[in-house]
Amino acid sequence: MELLDWMARGGHDRVLAVQDFESGLQGWIALHNTRRGPAYGGIRVWRYRNEAEAALDSLRLSQSMTYKCVLAGVAGGGAKTVILADRIKNRNLAMKKLGQFIEGLNGVYRCGPDVGFVESDRIALQQEGSSFYTCHSENLRPAGEATAEGVEFGMRAALDFVDGNSELSGRTVAIQGLGAVGLPLAERLLNKGCRVVACDLDPTTAEKAKRLGASIVEPVKIFEIESDILAPCAMGGVLHDLNLQKLRCRIVAGAANNMLPSPEQANQLHDRGILYVPDFVVNSGALVEGSGFEQTGRTDFDVELRRIGATVSAVLQRADASGCSSHEAAIGMAREILEQENNLGEHPHSGREAEAEDLA
């Protein structure tokens, strides 16, 4: 892998390799855009086959964080930290060292949690400084609840686009994953009169949704449920070529980052007549609240969260008008905004960020 070449293709500003021999910390902090404000992005601790795979993941995820910021109206750019989980020798120490690296970036990068980063990691990270773990303040509700609310607005916009009716009552929604986002999403939808069919790998977690009124199915069955909306809220890459053919939903709209392995699956969904709402358009609720609080001190972001629905509508209309997939339409819209900012001299870019290759 030619790292600098990949960075040029993706329009990345900076990538920091982090390593500490004693703790076994090894990973990458990718800062895609540091000119629109702080670069926001979570810390992912994951098993990668090698460091090149980890680096590429950080490049892809940080680029899509920039698109997320742009489309959500957040004054910031995208970033992502990925840590190679199986190289860690002393986790507590590794997170402390990572905290020092992040502190050394002096606020350019604002981190938060992502897949595989747990509460004990946060505590260790913050012990050694990292005052820049600011994505979500204690003054706000849990991040997953904000994300779930944004997803609801996105779902309504998608229903309106398909049926001319954004009403949730009487709809069937299938949810994969009942964690920080999936469970509050299930609760919101049940309260609005939806029938919720859901699953989780963890039976105790699934039980919580059952108590709220959701029907629980085996995880392997979730993609075959006949539904109005399928909401993947677990891991990325779940809608691949094999299970995509089994889908029996009309709309895919969920929180899981990078739920499609590549943009090709967006084309396949488009060809099958299934409306796909790009994850980075609909899952920005926590980013909106976290960054908004940090920048303004406000705690009520109702207007901004509702705007997620308006953005989803605009993306779907653009895709319809141009005959492209909604993924392509969303990226095109984000790039146009970046280009306008560049032309107005607001956030000039020296590279080719606005027309960069989509690494998703």
Residues annotated as part of the active site: 80
Nearer to ligand NAD, 10 or 254 (CB): 254
Distances (CA, A) of 40 to 58, 111, 292: 13, 6, 12
Q: Is 81 in the site for ligand NAD (CB under 6 A)?
A: no
Residue 360 and residue 64 in contact, taking contact as beta carbons nearer than 8 Å: yes
Q: Is 283 in the site for ligand NAD (CB under 6 A)?
A: yes
Side chain identity at residue 299, one-letter code: T
Phi-psi region of 17 (alpha: psi -120 to 50; beta: other; left: phi over 0): beta
Nearer to ligand NAD, 20 or 289 (CB): 289
Site string for ligand NAD, 236-265 (x = CB under 6 A): x------------------xxx--------
Which residues on neighbouring strands pair with residue 176, listed in sequence order?
199, 232
Q: Is 201 in the site for ligand NAD (CB under 6 A)?
A: yes
Least distance in angstroms from the C-beta of 176 to ligand NAD: 5
**Residue selected from 45, 174, 181, 251 as contacting ligand NAD according to rule CB under 6 A:** 181
Rounded to an integer, what distance in angstroms lies between the CA atom of residue 253 and that of residue 146?
16
Nearer to ligand NAD, 44 or 250 (CB): 44
DSSP string, 290-331: HHHHHHH-----HHHHHHHHHHHHHHHHHHHHHT--HHHHHH
Distances (CA, A) of 27 to 7, 235, 302: 16, 20, 36
Q: Is 180 in the site for ligand NAD (CB under 6 A)?
A: yes
Q: Is 11 in the site for ligand NAD (CB under 6 A)?
A: no
Residue 339 in tokens: 């280009």
**Residue selected from 234, 244, 308, 356 as contacting ligand NAD according to rule CB under 6 A:** 234
Least distance in angstroms from the C-beta of 141 to ligand NAD: 11
Radius of gyration of the chain (CA): 19
Helices 51-72 and 285-296: crossing angle in degrees, nearest 10, is 70
Q: Which 128-167 positions form the footprint of ligand NAD (CB under 6 A)?
A: 143-144, 147
Q: How many CB atoms are closer than 10 A to CB 257?
A: 22
Q: Is 178 in the site for ligand NAD (CB under 6 A)?
A: yes
**Residue selected from 64, 176, 268, 326 as contacting ligand NAD according to rule CB under 6 A:** 176
Nearer to ligand NAD, 178 or 252 (CB): 178
**Residue selected from 163, 167, 202, 346 as contacting ligand NAD according to rule CB under 6 A:** 202
Per CB under 6 A, which region of 18-26, 165-173, 194-202, 339-347 contacts ligand NAD? 194-202
Nearer to ligand NAD, 73 or 179 (CB): 179
Least distance in angstroms from the C-beta of 256 to ligand NAD: 4
Rounded to an integer, what distance in angstroms lies between the CA atom of residue 312 and that of residue 278?
8
Per CB under 6 A, which region of 71-79, 97-105, 121-129, 177-185 contacts ligand NAD? 177-185
Rounded to an integer, what distance in angstroms lies between the CA atom of residue 172 and that of residue 199?
14
Nearer to ligand NAD, 23 or 48 (CB): 48
Longest dimension (CA), the chain: 59
Helix intervals (H) in 193-325: 203-212, 241-244, 263-271, 279-282, 285-296, 302-322
Which residues on neighbouring strands pair with residue 251, listed in sequence order?
229, 275
Nearer to ligand NAD, 219 or 263 (CB): 219
Rounded to an integer, what distance in angstroms lies between the CA atom of residue 360 and that of residue 343?
25
**Residue selected from 286, 308, 312, 360 as contacting ligand NAD according to rule CB under 6 A:** 286
Q: Considering CB under 6 A, how many residues would be counted as binding ligand NAD?
A: 27
Q: Is 64 in the site for ligand NAD (CB under 6 A)?
A: no
Q: For residue 358, which of 209, 258, 236, 219 has the smallest C-alpha distance?
A: 258
Per CB under 6 A, which region of 21-29, 46-54, 174-182, 302-310 contacts ligand NAD? 174-182
Q: Which residues here bind ligand NAD, judged by CB under 6 A?
A: 114-115, 143-144, 147, 176-182, 199-202, 205, 219, 233-236, 255-257, 283, 286
